[in-house]
Amino acid sequence: MKRIYRRRSWSTIVSATAIAALLGGCAAGGAPQESGGPSPDAGASSAEIVRMANFGQEGNITPHTYETATGYNLLGLVYDSLLQIDEAGVPQPWLAEEVTTSEDGLTYTMPIRDDAAWHDGEPLTAEDVAFSFTYYQDGPPGRFRTAVSNVESVAVDGETVSVQLLEPGASFELRTLAELPILPEHIWSSIDAPDEAPFDESTSVGSGPYRLVESDPGTSYSFQANPEYFAGAPTVEEIRVIQFANDAGAVAALRSGEIDIITRSVTPEQVPVLNGQQGLSVLEGPEYVTTLLAFDTQRAPFSDVAVRQAINLATDRELLVSDVYLGAAIPGNAGWVHPESPFYDESIETTFDVDAANALLDEAGITDSDGDGVRELDGEALEVELLAVSSNALRMRIAELLAAQYAEIGMRVEVASLDQEAFDQLVWPEYDVAAGRNYDMAVFGWSAPTQADIGQMGALVDSDPTLGNLNITGYRSEEADALAAELRTESDPEARRAVAAELQALIAEELPLITLLYPNGLYGHSSDAYGGWTSITGQGPINKLSFIPADARP
């Protein structure tokens, strides 16, 4: 059996009645589209409270202790960055009034706005900005230390900040200026271990539209509007985030009126149920969220590229999309990049061919010598463990289907269901790839920003833990390292696109990970409670733009 996947139009994925909603929804930015059901009220443009259902363990929501993709989005309610992503995903001036770049691409000069203040009333200054860069550089490993790893120095002249880079950074505006939460120096300068700082009135001080006023990790969080916010008073007075153990509990709470929106996609089976209830609907559209199969590439048998290639050939992505997502997803591209990305290389073929997969394993000498249906490697049965998070029903179902698919090539797969914390400790301990890993295979997912910035593709494969901070597979390749370096520094658009194409081709050949699919966003919400939801391209409606006045959005 052989099948080749290429980029497809939406009409081949979803019904004609859904095309308009999908094309006008989350992928294009702006107001997300309702997926169907009773014609709902557009929803109020302001509200006293919005209650969100969230999942997993967030810990303390600070730049050093948040734990999930939603936690990162919530962080944006409390803190501001120098630039702010607009609805199209393009960085725009925010705390920085403008950005000027030197001809050599090494110096970024930014005057800081004079009307921003911290939640405790202290003014936000250029000194706070400079402090933030150096504080992250000296801090614990993580997203933001990586974001400033290319910074050589920061200088302040009045209320203007100049950042000097070690080398040109093609993603510096998107990955650093638009992501780095600016910190109040008068608070964090006295905190030596930011990743251990407890929640209190000081560690919750930011400059954003909301202040975190209550934190009970694992249970709930409460954010109170900042009426003095420089972009205008927020449209919702209080945001309460309630933690749930699983999707079923969150959907039940939405249907009973206990919450107003779910922060991650509901299952496709739940869409008609929610659309069928008066006052509820589903915000739907394609997103850059990526579901993948990760390996420990330093552990046998996954250290053998032939095994990884065989697994890729044996992966029926169409089946995963149809059976798990009921068509509400796009099959994964072997080269990683989302088909909607301007960097997508449509010449890369993603093939499903079980016969070819079996032939590869035969050639590698991994055969079934005793005829029991399971191949042997070095005299031992080819038996591996596949991890999945128990609270994510979709990924659990994917794991089960993959186990069945890989049985067709003589690999016995045991699915292990783990809670999020246990899963993370095996796959990405302490969220630091330098800490290693302890797993065979895992159904994993990266949030939308990982696809939104093509430079992040290098972080998936670079063998340097500082640069490859997303390399959870332990993949090592001098060629990948070189291409990742070019992708980080090349600023010419056409040249950068060519480098991205080379790295996609290498990923499709070496397969340090297998991109399974890109799920659509399916956000169940109360259409009566609040109607101000605004989507950022490929990233859904849970973001700062959904809670600031429409005329203040960048």
| CB distance 410 to 384 below 8 Å | no
Alpha-carbon span 503 to 343, nearest angstrom: 11
- Say what the pLDDT of residue 285 is: 77
Tokens, residue 365: 């000498």
pLDDT in tens, 57-110: 788 889 998 888 889 999 999 999 999 999 988 899 999 999 999 999 999 999
- Say what the pLDDT of residue 543 is: 94
pLDDT in tens, 369-389: 999 999 999 999 999 999 999
CATH top class, domain 80-205 = alpha beta
Backbone torsions φ then ψ of 110, nearest 5 degrees: -140, 115
User: Average pLDDT in the 257-274 region?
Assistant: 93
- Say what the pLDDT of residue 487 is: 93
Helical (H) or strand (E) element with 222: strand 220-225
The yes-or-no verdict on residue 23 having pLDDT over 70 is no
CA distance from start to end of the chain: 50
User: Average pLDDT in the 341-360 region?
Assistant: 95
pLDDT in tens, 137-151: 998 888 899 899 999
- Say what the pLDDT of residue 497 is: 94
Which residues have a Cβ under 8 Å from the Cβ of 169 and sit 6 or more positions away?
105, 150, 175, 176, 488, 489
Q: What is the 3-state secondary structure (H, E, C) of 228-295?
A: CCCCCCCCEEEEEEEEECCHHHHHHHHHCCCCCEECCCCCCCHHHHHHCCCCEEEEEEECCCEEEEEE
pLDDT-derived band at 34 (thresholds 50, 70, 90) equals low
pLDDT-derived band at 22 (thresholds 50, 70, 90) equals very low
Backbone torsions φ then ψ of 453, nearest 5 degrees: -110, 110
The yes-or-no verdict on residue 426 having pLDDT over 80 is yes
Helical (H) or strand (E) element with 17: helix 16-23
Query: pTM to 2 decimals?
Result: 0.73
pLDDT in tens, 119-141: 999 999 999 999 999 999 998 88
Alpha-carbon span 459 to 367, nearest angstrom: 35
482: exposed, middle or buried (Cβ count in 10 Å: 0-12, 13-18, 19+):
middle
- More confident position, 189 or 20: 189
pLDDT-derived band at 39 (thresholds 50, 70, 90) equals very low
Any alpha helices (H) in 256-392, and if so which ranges?
270-275, 305-313, 317-319, 354-363
- Say what the pLDDT of residue 391 is: 86
User: Average pLDDT in the 361-376 region?
Assistant: 96
The yes-or-no verdict on residue 250 having pLDDT over 60 is yes
pLDDT-derived band at 12 (thresholds 50, 70, 90) equals very low
User: Average pLDDT in the 203-213 region?
Assistant: 96
pLDDT in tens, 508-546: 999 999 999 999 999 999 999 999 999 887 788 999 999
**Average pLDDT, whole number, for the chain?**
90
Tokens, residue 136: 């992250």
pLDDT-derived band at 286 (thresholds 50, 70, 90) equals confident
pLDDT-derived band at 30 (thresholds 50, 70, 90) equals low
Task: List the chain domain ranges.
Answer: 80-205, 291-519
CATH number of 291-519: 3.40.50.1950, 3.40.50.300, 3.40.50.920, 3.10.105.10? 3.10.105.10
User: Average pLDDT in the 337-365 region?
Assistant: 95
The yes-or-no verdict on residue 306 having pLDDT over 70 is yes
3-class DSSP assignment, residue 503: helix
CA 49, 233, 63, 480 dihedral sign is: positive
Between the CA of residue 232 and those of 114, 116, 198, what are the distances in Å? 15, 11, 30
- Say what the pLDDT of residue 502 is: 98
Helical (H) or strand (E) element with 213: strand 210-216
Tokens, residue 474: 């332990």
